[in-house]
Amino acid sequence: MNVTIIGTGNMARGIATRLLAGGNKVTLVGRNPEKAGELAVALRKNGKSDGTVNTAAYGSAIHDEVVVLAVPFPADASIVKEYGDKLSGKILVDIATPFNATYDDLSTPPDTSAAEETAKAAPAGAKVVKAFTTNLSRTLEAGQVAGHPLDVFVAGDDAQAKSEVSDLIKAGGLRPLDVGPLRHARQLEGLHLLNAGVQSQLDTPWMNAIKFLS
């Protein structure tokens, strides 16, 4: 599948690594074209990719069916508003957690989430899926923690869109878990907030995973 990633930071790198491992074609888009180009070169050099990676200019037409918003809140909804009808009919993957200024709570009211705000900003026909919210960038690059493949929690109101995102996750060597409607993004964002808050207590900060074992 062809996937566009808007963003060039650590999460963009981690998600792109998994998408490329699954044999997908990835197009990187960022406001800084030089940074997007550097990330593309780094991904090509890692030697673990079965897919291909290219770059495109920010604001240009998007031809891929799936668009990953690998940006922090509130840039996710802002970018969707800026692109407008160019995202009509697309599957939009929102990964953001709406941390407050002191990173000790969420900045969104209890009756919404970053993903739901993105859905409000999206054009007609776009389908928003929440995914990768509880995953950390370096563990996405590795694909596993302590020998266990990562769990990726997926929320959304469109079953087909969730299925397509789940297929991408699975192809990258991870385990997708459907956690229900898009409003459950509120709980996923809260879970990531709690995980971020305990990192200083861990032996290897930012290298853990939230995983269901049975």
- CATH number of the domain where residue 15 is located: 3.40.50.720
- What pLDDT digit, counting tens, does each position of 43-80 carry? 998 866 678 999 999 999 999 999 999 999 999 999 99
Is 211 among the domain residues? no
Structure tokens, 210: 């939230």
Identify whether 210 is part of a domain: no
pLDDT tens per residue across span 82-99? 999 999 999 999 999 999
pLDDT in tens, 124-169: 999 999 999 999 999 999 999 999 999 999 999 999 999 999 999 9
- Cβ(210)–Cβ(149) below 8 Å: no
pTM (whole model) above 0.85 = yes
Cα(153)–Cα(110) distance, integer angstroms: 20
| Domain assignment present for 196 | yes
Residue 137 identity (one-letter amino acid): S
Q: 162-211 pLDDT, tens per residue?
A: 999 999 999 999 999 999 999 999 999 999 999 999 999 999 999 999 99
Omega into 123 within 30° of 0, i.e. cis? Answer: no
On the question of pLDDT at 24 being above 80, the answer is yes
Number of domains the chain contains: 1
For residue 55, being part of any structural domain is answered with yes
Residue in 63, 51, 62 with CA at minimum distance from that of residue 15: 51
Does 209 fall in a domain?
A: no
Show the domain range for 96. Answer: 2-201
157 token code pair: 């109101």
The rounded distance, in Å, linking the Cα atoms of 192 and 40 is 27
Q: Does 54 fall in a domain?
A: yes
206 within a domain of the structure (yes/no):
no
Radius of gyration of the chain (CA): 16
